[in-house]
């Protein structure tokens, strides 16, 4: 007979190779961060600041600017706030690595981590100085009109946006971060419910026995016989 604990163990079992899944996160993050920083260094040394250089006509252009705000040059003037938020995001992602067993989640978090680290590196190392350095933006796509400004961004921003798109898909498909399938998750929930019910069934008789009252005995009379 299979016990509830055995069912729960089978339902939550993780394939051994999934323990290496966090490496995917680190590799994706490193790739995004390194590419972002290498390209930004090329931009700083090779492109004139503030000058538009057509690449694919008006569809894609280089336009080097220093951005004190968030992605796509939004919310300029709050650099230190975004620096703090970036540090918090990095800490949360690193904390989640211990639970990570899903490839999809690894790619999502890797894209997000690499993008956040790319822009955070700029804020910590570039002018005007720590911790309010300006982020290097250079990709201009006029057709991506944001309603109030032209979209100018960088590789790190692409990583962040790509990661968020993947997160939406992960949410729609209901993929858990620990790599379990829906069937495994459902089996684990059922096993936990059965174990809880079994625990209650065992503890209730014990509680009843411990709370029961003893039948009082009648004291003996002086002649040794029980009092009526």
SS3 per-residue string spanning the chain: CCCHHHHHHHHHCCCHHHHHCHHHHHHHHHHHHHHHHHHHHHHHHHCCECCEEECCCCCCEEEEEEECCCHHHCCCCCHHHHHHHHHHHHHHHHHHHHHCCCHHHHHHHHHHHHHHHHHHHHHHHCCCCCCCCCEEEEEECCCCCCCCCCCEECHHHHHHHHHHHHHHHHHHHCCCCCCCCHHHHHHHHHHHHHHHHHHHHHHHHHHHHHHCCCCCCCCECCCCCECC
* pLDDT confidence bin for 12, thresholds 50/70/90: very low
The pLDDT of residue 80 is 77
pLDDT band for position 89 (cuts 50, 70, 90)? very high
* Residues carrying an active site annotation: 137, 157
Q: What's the whole-number mean pLDDT along residues 59-82?
A: 77
Give the rounded percent of residues in the chain with a pLDDT score beyond 70.
70
The model's confidence at residue 206, banded by pLDDT at 50, 70 and 90, is: low
Q: What pLDDT does residue 160 have?
A: 96
Top pLDDT among 76 and 4 is at: 76
Q: Is the pTM of this model over 0.75?
A: no
pLDDT at 39: 98
* Model confidence band, residue 130 (pLDDT cutoffs 50, 70, 90): confident
- Average confidence score pLDDT of the chain: 81
* pLDDT of 164 over the 50 cut: yes
- Pick the range with the lowest mean pLDDT from 66-70, 85-89, 137-141, 151-155: 66-70
Residue 8 has pLDDT above 60, yes or no: no
- Residues 33-51 have a mean pLDDT of 97
Least confident of 69-78, 162-171, 196-205: 69-78
């Amino acid at each position: 007979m299979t016990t509830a604990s055995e069912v729960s163990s089978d339902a939550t079992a993780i394939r051994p190779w999934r323990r290496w899944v966090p490496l995917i996160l680190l590799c994706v993050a490193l790739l995004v961060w390194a590419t972002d920083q290498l390209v930004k260094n090329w931009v700083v040394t090779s492109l004139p600041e503030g000058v538009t250089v057509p690449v694919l006509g008006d569809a894609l252009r280089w336009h080097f600017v220093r951005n004190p705000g968030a992605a796509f040059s939004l919310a300029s003037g709050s650099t230190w706030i975004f620096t703090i938020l970036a540090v918090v995001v990095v800490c949360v992602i690193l904390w989640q690595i211990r639970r990570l067993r899903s490839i999809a989640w690894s790619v999502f978090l890797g894209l997000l981590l690499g993008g956040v680290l790319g822009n955070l590196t700029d804020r910590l190392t570039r002018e005007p100085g720590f911790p309010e350095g300006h982020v290097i933006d250079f990709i201009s796509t006029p057709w991506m009109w944001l309603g109030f400004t032209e979209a100018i961004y960088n590789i790190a921003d692409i990583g962040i946006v790509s990661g968020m798109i993947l997160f939406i898909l992960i949410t729609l498909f209901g993929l858990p971060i620990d790599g379990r399938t829906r069937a495994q998750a459902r089996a684990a929930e059922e096993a936990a419910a059965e174990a809880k019910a079994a625990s209650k069934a065992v503890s209730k008789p014990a509680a009843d026995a411990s709370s029961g009252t003893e039948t009082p005995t009648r004291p003996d009379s002086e002649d040794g016989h029980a009092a009526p």
